[in-house]
Amino acid sequence: MRIDGARLDRLLHLTSEVAGAGAALSAVAHAARRRHGHNKQVNALVEASEELGRLCDELQTRVSRARIVRVASLFGRFAGLVEDLARGMGKRVVLTLAGEHTEVDKRTIDELAEPLVHLVRNALDHGIETPEARRRAGKPEAGRLGLAARREGTRLVVEVEDDGAGVDLERVRQKAVALGLLGAAEAAALDDAATLELVFHPGFSTRDTVGSVSGRGVGLDAARDRVAALGGRVELGSAVGRGCVGRIVLPLTSVVVDALLVQAGDECYALPLEHVEEVLCRGPSAAPLAGAEARWPWRGKSLAVASLAALLGGDTRGDAAGAEARYLVVLAHEDGPWAIAVDAVLERRKLVLRALGRRLRRLPGLIGTSTSDEGGVVLALDSASLRPLLAPDEVRR
pLDDT in tens, 347-378: 888 777 776 666 666 676 777 777 766 667 88
Say how far residue 145 (Cα) sits from the centre of its chain. 23
7-11, 289-293, 371-375: segment of lowest average pLDDT: 289-293
Q: What is the CATH number of the domain that holds 286?
A: 2.30.30.40
Question: Are residues 75 and 60 part of one domain?
Answer: no
**Per-residue pLDDT tens for 248-287?**
998 776 666 788 999 888 888 998 888 899 999 876 656 5
pLDDT reported for residue 243: 93
pLDDT reported for residue 111: 85
Per DSSP, 388 falls in state G
Which has the closest alpha carbon to 117: 85, 91, 155, 142?
85
Q: What is the CATH number of the domain that holds 202?
A: 3.30.565.10
pLDDT reported for residue 355: 67
pLDDT reported for residue 316: 42
Q: 264-276 burial by CB neighbour count: b if 16+ within 10 A, else e?
A: beeebbbbbeebb
Question: Are residues 232 and 211 part of one domain?
Answer: yes
**Per-residue pLDDT tens for 167-212?**
889 999 999 899 888 899 998 999 988 999 998 888 787 665 545 4
10 Å Cβ neighbour count for 44? Answer: 11
CA separation for the pair 126, 147 (Å, rounded): 17
Q: Which of 15, 43, 66 marks a domain boundary?
A: 66
Sequence-separated (6 or more) residues with CB below 8 Å from residue 119: 160, 220, 223, 234, 246, 248
Q: Which of 66, 82, 111 marks a domain boundary?
A: 66
Instruction: pLDDT band for 158, please (50, 70, 90 cuts).
Output: very high
Q: 113-150 burial by CB neighbour count: b if 16+ within 10 A, else e?
A: eebbbbbbbbbbbbbbbebeebeeeebeeebbbbbbbe
Q: Which domain holds residue 327?
A: 255-396
Give the pLDDT mean for 20-27: 81
Question: Are residues 222 and 147 part of one domain?
Answer: yes
CA separation for the pair 173, 206 (Å, rounded): 10
CA separation for the pair 18, 202 (Å, rounded): 46
What is the percent of the chain where pLDDT is above 90?
26
**Per-residue pLDDT tens for 318-344?**
444 445 678 899 988 877 888 888 988
Give the pLDDT mean for 23-27: 82
Higher pLDDT, 33 or 252: 33
Higher pLDDT, 4 or 279: 279
CA end-to-end span of the chain: 57
Give the pLDDT mean for 150-167: 88
Q: Are 264 and 308 in contact (CB under 8 A)?
A: yes
pLDDT at 225 over 60: yes
**Per-residue pLDDT tens for 40-82?**
899 999 999 889 888 887 887 777 777 778 899 999 999 999 9
Q: Can you tell me whether residue 381 is helix, strand or coil? A: strand
Beginning with the edge strand found earlier in the chain, give each strand of the sheet holding 327-331 in spatial order: 276-281, 327-331, 338-342, 301-307, 295-298
pLDDT reported for residue 104: 82
Question: Are residues 59 and 77 part of one domain?
Answer: no
SS3 of 306-375 = EEHHHHHHCCCCCCCCCCCCCEEEEECCCCCCEEEEECEEEEEEEEEEECCCCCHHHCCCEEEEEECCCC
pLDDT reported for residue 212: 47
**Max avg pLDDT among 28-37, 129-138, 209-218:** 129-138
SS3 of 26-54 = HHHHHHHHHHHCCCHHHHHHHHHHHHHHH
Question: Are residues 333 and 357 part of one domain?
Answer: yes
Question: Are residues 269 and 237 part of one domain?
Answer: no
pLDDT reported for residue 129: 94
pLDDT reported for residue 285: 57
Question: Are residues 162 and 90 part of one domain?
Answer: yes
Q: Which of 192, 216, 251 marks a domain boundary?
A: 251
Question: Are residues 284 and 233 part of one domain?
Answer: no
pLDDT reported for residue 324: 60
Please tell me the total count of domains within the chain: 3
Question: Are residues 214 and 137 part of one domain?
Answer: yes
pLDDT at 161 over 70: yes
Question: Are residues 200 and 323 part of one domain?
Answer: no
Question: Are residues 74 and 52 part of one domain?
Answer: no
Question: Are residues 198 and 111 part of one domain?
Answer: yes
Higher pLDDT, 68 or 346: 346
pLDDT reported for residue 321: 43
The backbone region for 253, taken as left when phi is positive above 0, alpha when psi lies in -120 to 50, beta otherwise, is alpha
pLDDT at 216 over 50: no
